[in-house]
Amino acid sequence: MCIRAPTRRLDRKRNGEPEKAEGKMAIPTVMGTEIEFGIMVKNDPDFDPISSCVLIVNAYREDPDGKILWDYDQENPLADARGFQVEGEKYTPNQQENIARNKTLINGARYYVDHAHPEYSSPEVTNARDLVIHEKAGERVIEISRREANNLLPEGAQMLIYKNNSDRKGNSYGCHENYLMDRRTSFKKVVEPLLPFFSTRQIWCGAGKVGSESRNHPCDYQLSQRADFFETEVALDTMVKRPIVNTRDEPHADREKYRRLHVIVGDSNMSEFTIYLRNGVTALILSMIEDGAISKDLTLRDPVRTIREVSHDLTLAQEVTMDDGTARTALEIQSDFLEMALAYTSSRSLDPVQKDVLQKWQDVIEALGRDPMELDTKIDWVIKKRLIESYIGRKKLDWSDPQVQMLDLQYHDSRPDKGLYYLLERQGKVERIVTDEEIQHAVYNPPRDTRAFFRGECLRRYPSEVFGVNWDSISFGLENESIKRVMMAEPLKGTSEFVEELLDRSETAAVLLENMGS
Amino acid sequence: MATFIRDLKRDRADRSAGAEADPIPLYMAAAEQKQKSKGGGGDEGDGEKGEGGQKLAEKGEELKEEMDELLDEIDSVLEENAEEFVKNYVQRGGE
């Protein structure tokens, strides 16, 4: 049963062919991020990450009865975007485990245990600015639940959470970006420009990292937390032999129309400015790919080698080998993407966020060409480098000192009074994009312009009647009735525009379903 | 000095098993704290040549002071046993 709502036009001609519309972006952007956090407990000899994750996720209580399930039924992590299904077992927890490990929140987010990490998956948003707001709201949720969890730990034990990607001991955990794409764009066409784009974008969105994971390639500091961990170009796995382009094909939406591009190559950023560009620019590049606007061939000879080399090169001047044998720097490659983007957007109307993202990206590329350290209030790796260099200068340390490693880690600490990023923010040392009020609002309110609105509002209004939730459906358990699942295959339906009035008229879920014409 | 003492108190409160302060006011209070004004560069536009040099020097002094204060604050919150802490920070591989 579908939500009865007026169909949103996606600019199609009568014969089903999409318009290559001048003045319009390829497909309305829908995006979100899922972030795995590092977790530890000080002064607890029995520390076990998995039970600590269960503790922290459960410490965040919105659902009074604590019995809503995550609906794993329609998940398909073994589907590969290149057109096949990998053999393997799909893990589905039993009901008890499910409830212990999953929370779907009234702001439309999912907060859960993923392997041995607490993970926050933001609700779907339509633009990079809302993405910043909701990703930051996730940091608040983590911190609120960390404090609650602390109350339940033995005396003296303290739980700590880090929004980063590396423990400097060979283990990594991710910040995954998700972008809605048109399924008709061939995956091959998507992969080709993304390999060079993802290998080089770290010059303006890397989170910075002290040291190297690779004994053969040591370094004091590098641009990206994740770069050392990539071993293949294109693949399905996300945990071993990580690929620069991930082929996971779980759209959580109408499979005929949509693809969800699952990006695992990014860093967990603290700076709002960096998060904004990371998602805003990537969304723009994806639109360009869909519209056939990537006119230059920027194929690299060896992307896996390049992603590491670029990360380790703080001068941004080292040249990498292109497939045609020529040598370019990462900055030149990104400048080429920028040039194509400026050409692409010159004949299109952009919304204010898109305009702002493009302008800021251009300013950043130009600044990188003059002196990257100009960006010490904007880009994480530069902010962090400035911080560390100042500290080293004062204390006469060197890069291998444990205190320097501690600075790297504590930059990502979730506590607003201890986290070094938050300290800098408080002191007015970093440029902000959104306000604390907006972030606070987003902790308890879903975006209004995606299906996250319907999901979040149902959870807020009818918590005792919701049986299970997934990204593209919500199920209700009513008295004397079988479970009723409402499908939400369109990410841009179920918005406040379509359903708020309906929800306001429906005091209970039973009434809602009646009104929806079941 | 006052900053240092305040942070120590918060640190102790953080570690206690008792009820923690609502984090929401903490973020708001942090945002309300007076932001150090960065000011423009040495080119406030006006001023005669002689003054320009002095302004730059003053600006440099100001920035150095700000940096010193910032580093003081970092020192006061940075984990004390860095070596042990960093050694003990191990994660399971995630996605």
Question: Strands (DSSP E) along A186-326, which ranges?
Answer: 209-210, 221-222, 230-235, 242-246, 258-263, 319-321
Vertex A308 angle, CA A300 and A161, to 5° = 135
Per-residue model confidence (pLDDT) at position A63: 60
Alpha-carbon span A371 to A420, nearest angstrom:
24
Give the nearest partner residue to A427 out of B14, B27, B36, using CB atoms. B36
Looking at residue A17, the DSSP 8-state letter turns out to be P
Amino acid letter for position A63? D
- The DSSP bridge pattern shows strands A175-182 and A258-263 to be antiparallel
8 Å CB contact of A426 and B89: no
8 Å CB contact of B91 and A117: yes
Q: Are A64 and A72 in contact (CB under 8 A)?
A: no
8 Å CB contact of B74 and A420: yes
pLDDT in tens, chain A (518 residues): 343 333 333 333 334 444 444 444 566 799 999 999 999 999 988 899 999 999 999 999 876 566 777 877 667 777 777 777 777 766 677 888 888 889 999 999 999 999 899 999 999 999 999 999 999 999 999 999 999 999 999 989 999 999 999 999 999 999 999 999 999 999 999 999 999 999 999 999 999 999 999 899 999 999 999 999 999 999 999 898 999 999 999 999 999 999 999 999 999 999 999 999 999 999 999 999 999 999 999 999 999 999 999 999 999 999 999 999 999 999 999 999 999 999 999 999 999 999 999 999 999 999 999 999 999 999 999 999 999 999 999 999 999 999 999 999 999 999 999 999 999 999 999 999 999 999 999 999 999 999 999 999 999 999 999 999 999 999 999 988 889 999 999 999 999 999 999 999 999 999 999 999 85
Residues sharing a CB contact under 8 Å with residue A88, sequence separation 6 or more, in sequence order:
A78
ipTM reported for the complex, 2 dp: 0.87
8 Å CB contact of A116 and B79: no
Tell me: pLDDT of B9 over 60.
no
Give the nearest partner residue to B20 out of A150, A173, A423, using CB atoms. A150
Alpha-carbon span A223 to A207, nearest angstrom:
6
Per-residue model confidence (pLDDT) at position A319: 97
Residue of A nearest to B31 (CA): A426
8 Å CB contact of B27 and A140: yes
Per-residue model confidence (pLDDT) at position B90: 94
Give the nearest partner residue to A402 out of B33, B83, B93, using CB atoms. B83
Residues sharing a CB contact under 8 Å with residue A62, sequence separation 6 or more, in sequence order:
A103, A105, A106, A459, A463
Q: Are A263 and A176 in contact (CB under 8 A)?
A: yes
* A246 interaction partners in chain B (CB closer than 8 Å): none
List A322's β-bridge partners, or say none. Answer: A300
The Cα-based distances of A204 to A310, A331, A377, A384 in angstroms read: 11, 9, 12, 13
Q: Which residue has the tokens 């004062």?
A: A394
Alpha-carbon span A38 to A166, nearest angstrom:
8
8 Å CB contact of A140 and B88: no
8 Å CB contact of B86 and A155: no
What is this structure's pTM?
A: 0.87
> In the structure, what pLDDT confidence band is assigned to residue B51 with cuts at 50, 70 and 90?
low
Per-residue model confidence (pLDDT) at position A270: 98
Q: Which residue has the tokens 């700000």?
A: B66
8 Å CB contact of A171 and B93: yes
Alpha-carbon span A53 to B51, nearest angstrom:
60
Q: Which of A514, A518, A221 is nearest to A387 (CA)?
A: A221
Task: Give B4→chain A minimum CA distance, Å.
Answer: 12
DSSP H or E stretch at residue A133: helix A128-151
Residue of A nearest to B86 (CA): A406
Alpha-carbon span B17 to A300, nearest angstrom:
54
* B20 interaction partners in chain A (CB closer than 8 Å): 147-148, 150-151
Tell me: pLDDT of B79 over 80.
yes
Residue of A nearest to B64 (CA): A390
8 Å CB contact of A150 and B74: no
Looking at residue A347, the DSSP 8-state letter turns out to be T
Task: Give A129→chain B minimum CA distance, Å.
Answer: 19
Task: Give A56→chain B minimum CA distance, Å.
Answer: 15
Q: How does A380-415 read in b/e, with b if 16+ C-beta sit within 10 Å?
A: bbbbbbbbbebbbeeeeeeeebbbbbbbbbbbbbbb
Residue of B nearest to A154 (CA): B17
* A426 interaction partners in chain B (CB closer than 8 Å): 30-31, 33
Give the nearest partner residue to B20 out of A117, A151, A429, using CB atoms. A151
Task: Give A54→chain B minimum CA distance, Å.
Answer: 15
Tell me: pLDDT of B20 over 60.
no
Q: Which residue has the tokens 């040598």?
A: A327
Q: At what angle do helices A272-290 and A187-200 cross, to 10 degrees?
A: 150
Q: What is the dotted CATH code of the domain comprising A31-62+105-441?
A: 3.30.590
Q: Does residue A121 or residue B13 have the better pLDDT? A: A121
8 Å CB contact of A403 and B82: yes
Per-residue model confidence (pLDDT) at position A68: 78
* Residues of B within an 8 Å Cβ radius of A: 7, 10-11, 14-15, 17-20, 23-24, 26-28, 30-31, 33, 35-38, 67-68, 70-71, 73-74, 77-79, 82-83, 85-95
Q: Are A435 and A441 in contact (CB under 8 A)?
A: no
Alpha-carbon span A107 to A473, nearest angstrom:
16
8 Å CB contact of B91 and A39: yes
Per-residue model confidence (pLDDT) at position B58: 86
Alpha-carbon span A76 to A79, nearest angstrom:
6
In a mutational test of the B interface, the residue from A146, A408, A426 whose CB has the highest number of chain B CBs within 10 Å is A426
Task: Give B53→chain A minimum CA distance, Å.
Answer: 22
Residue of A nearest to B24 (CA): A440
Q: Are A102 and A118 in contact (CB under 8 A)?
A: no
8 Å CB contact of B82 and A405: yes
The Cα-based distances of A262 to A242, A459, A464, A504 in angstroms read: 13, 26, 33, 35
Looking at residue A49, the DSSP 8-state letter turns out to be H
Alpha-carbon span A447 to A123, nearest angstrom:
7
* B25 interaction partners in chain A (CB closer than 8 Å): none
Q: Which residue has the tokens 């060197």?
A: A398
The residues of A annotated as belonging to the active site are 114
* A173 interaction partners in chain B (CB closer than 8 Å): 91-95
Per-residue model confidence (pLDDT) at position B40: 37
Task: Give A108→chain B minimum CA distance, Å.
Answer: 20
The Cα-based distances of A274 to A364, A388, A444, A445, A459 in angstroms read: 10, 19, 24, 24, 32
In a mutational test of the B interface, the residue from A427, A431, A436, A440 whose CB has the highest number of chain B CBs within 10 Å is A427
Per-residue model confidence (pLDDT) at position B52: 73
Task: Give B37→chain A minimum CA distance, Å.
Answer: 8
Give the nearest partner residue to A426 out of B14, B33, B89, using CB atoms. B33
DSSP H or E stretch at residue A456: helix A452-461
8 Å CB contact of B94 and A172: yes
